[in-house]
Amino acid sequence: MLYKKIDFRVRPPYGYYRTMFQQEQAHFERLADAFDMTVSRSQRTGMLEHFLEEMDQAGIEISVVPCRKNLGSKEEKLFDLTDRYLGRFLIFPYADPTDGPSALKEIDCFREKWGIKGVSVEPTFQPKPYAFDDPVAFPMYEKLQKEGLLLFVSYSAKLMPIVNPDTVRQLGTVVHCFPGLKIIVGHGGWPWHLEVMAMAFNSPNIYIVPDMYGLNGAGSQDYIKAANTLMKRQMLFGTAYPILNVVDTAAFYENCGIKESVLPDLFYNNAAGLLGV
């Protein structure tokens, strides 16, 4: 059975993300080998048309695109995707609270011009890192909470120059101080995913995207068990493309042990409700 899907973590071969396809072929090969997958045609060619074909093959109706600051180019070009392929892409522009009031104004501009659903942040990975609970970020959190915009946080040890377990406490502080803020945790918070699940158990506004960390690696069974039980309404499907092949990743999640009764929520319904689509 092919389930319809919303992929909540995609970097398409378009705009500044095309550099990934030029520079990270060895990385694609390494992870394909690690997870017994293949490197797809679009991963090799960096052609958007090939990626759209793979989206269709995997049953992915919508790809959510979180933007990234450290690539050095303007992200506005990614919004061209929403015009060229109506309904297939949702862009989460990058927001950097260390920019001060200009960051808040930029969010207003994105919302007015493109009707964004939320913003993307990578506190530990951007050119000028900041702690999740740095007061400099509180005005942005408050704005997002007040205006009903989502906060997409890419969070795992992979995104830290120096692995720092205190980051999970920092994220917990944000959840406590802004209980109405809806937070999507990309990369599943690995390897502190149990702590992130504990936050989600205490707050219905925390959503988890395991993406690559749900694939037969250390701790992957924790995500599967959680998706079947306590987190069944808060777990979202994501591929982390182009790090992973979307067709192979979709097939894995379809057959990994998540209950058939839960799969429609994991693949589509939870995300659709969150995004209002």
pLDDT, one tens digit per residue, over 184-222 is 999 999 999 999 999 999 999 999 999 999 998 889 999
* CATH code at position 110: 3.20.20.140
Those residues with Cβ within 8 angstroms of residue 246's Cβ, 6 or more apart along the chain or in another chain = 7, 10, 40, 51, 54, 55, 58, 60, 239
Q: Is the distance from CB of 39 to CB of 94 less than 8 angstroms?
A: no
Q: Is the pLDDT of residue 71 over 80?
A: no
Q: Is the distance from CB of 240 to CB of 17 less than 8 angstroms?
A: no
Q: 139-162 burial string, b = 16+ CB within 10 Å, else e?
A: ebbebbbeeebbbbbbbbbbbeee
pLDDT at 72: 59
SS3 155: coil
pLDDT at 169: 96
Q: Which domain holds residue 90?
A: 5-275
Q: Is the pLDDT of residue 69 over 90?
A: no
pLDDT at 157: 86
pLDDT at 224: 96
Those residues with Cβ within 8 angstroms of residue 31's Cβ, 6 or more apart along the chain or in another chain = 37, 212, 243, 244
pLDDT tens for 78-126 read 999 999 999 999 999 999 999 999 999 999 999 999 999 999 999 999 9
Q: Is the pLDDT of residue 73 over 60?
A: no
Q: What is the mean pLDDT of residues 63-79?
A: 82
Q: What is the mean pLDDT of residues 236-250?
A: 97
Report the percentage of the chain scoring pLDDT > 90: 89
CA distance 181 to 143: 9
pLDDT tens for 216-240 read 888 999 999 999 999 999 999 999 9
User: Domain count of the chain?
Assistant: 1
Q: Is the pLDDT of residue 133 over 90?
A: yes
pLDDT tens for 140-157 read 999 999 999 999 999 998
